[in-house]
Amino acid sequence: MSTGVDPQDLPPGLALAWGLPAKTSKLGRTPSQSVEQVVEAAIDLADTDGFAALSMPKLAKKLGLTANAIYRYVRSRDELLVLVAETGWGPAPDLVSGAGHWRTAATTWTQAMIDRCDVHPWLVDLPVRGAPMTPNLLRWTEVILETFTGAGLSPKEAIQCALLLDLYARRIAGVRRDLTQNSADSVNSTTVQDFLLPLLHEHGYPIVAALMTDNDYSDDIDDTDVAFGLTRILDGIDVLLSGNRSHPSAAPAD
């Protein structure tokens, strides 16, 4: 399908993400790889060595290509990152429908984001350059907007609530990733607690000391912690929905 827009005028990776042809450098012989193979290799590289490994020279080496040949497939690292994000996030989750099930749907959506980041921890390191524009990311957006507008929010309120959940999921995923990769001793270790507890009491940290004694002061973020924060967010959205139901025809303030 032709959109009537020159792909060269679009942001990097947008045309390729939508399956439309985009001009790449015409260097040497016929390409031996496909764009899809290049993206899969990049994802494998990031899964193994982290976001910092997503460089064009490293990707070319992994594929057995010369430094110049990689540009037959993607024009730049920016273009590569767009395609890697699109594939890494993958299809949006299936959400339960119906106005009465919006909390379940929102919980599923948020947890799916966190789960994707557990699979590909580098997703939280990808730069966010604006609103979603590629098919998978737009579908993630569309399904949560359907949930919120179906429950009674305006499209504007729905996108604001979606952003709130998005930020929460990314932050939780990022902290969990950092804790998993941390090689330092845990605050829950006997050695650390034996060192800290006397100091906490001596220097005026009685509440932290009590939490530590009861093993409630932890550097882990478990499912209970995630659920607690998400429930507080959803309670706030519920208040917004209740206000909309109470004033269905209220005119917007100037």
Q: Which CATH class is domain 99-182+219-246?
A: mainly alpha
Q: Which of 138, 154, 219 is nearest to 184 (CA)?
A: 219
0.75 surpassed by pTM: yes
Q: Enumerate the CATH 1.10.357.10 domain ranges in the chain, comma separated.
A: 99-182+219-246
DSSP code, position 251: P
Encode pLDDT of 30-53 as tens digits: 667 899 999 999 999 999 999 999
- In whole angstroms, give the CA distance from residue 233 to residue 238: 9
> In this structure, are residues 68 and 57 in contact, taking their beta carbons and an 8 Å threshold?
no
Q: Which of 114, 95, 69 is nearest to 221 (CA)?
A: 114
Please state the φ and ψ torsions of residue 120, each to the nearest 5 degrees: -125, 85
* Residue 232 host element (H or E): helix 223-246
Reading the chain (254 residues) residue by residue, the pLDDT tens digits are: 556 677 777 888 999 999 886 555 454 556 678 999 999 999 999 999 999 999 999 999 999 999 999 999 999 999 999 999 999 999 999 999 998 999 999 999 999 999 999 999 999 999 988 899 999 999 999 999 999 999 999 999 999 999 999 999 999 999 999 988 876 777 878 888 999 999 999 999 999 999 999 888 887 888 999 999 999 999 999 999 998 877 765 444 44
User: DSSP letters along 52-95, please?
Assistant: GG--HHHHHHHHT--TTGGGGT-SSHHHHHHHHHHHHH-SPPP-
- In whole angstroms, give the CA distance from residue 65 to residue 52: 20
Encode pLDDT of 49-67 as tens digits: 999 999 999 999 999 999 9
Q: Which CATH class is domain 7-89?
A: mainly alpha
Q: Enumerate the CATH 1.10.10.60 domain ranges in the chain, comma separated.
A: 7-89
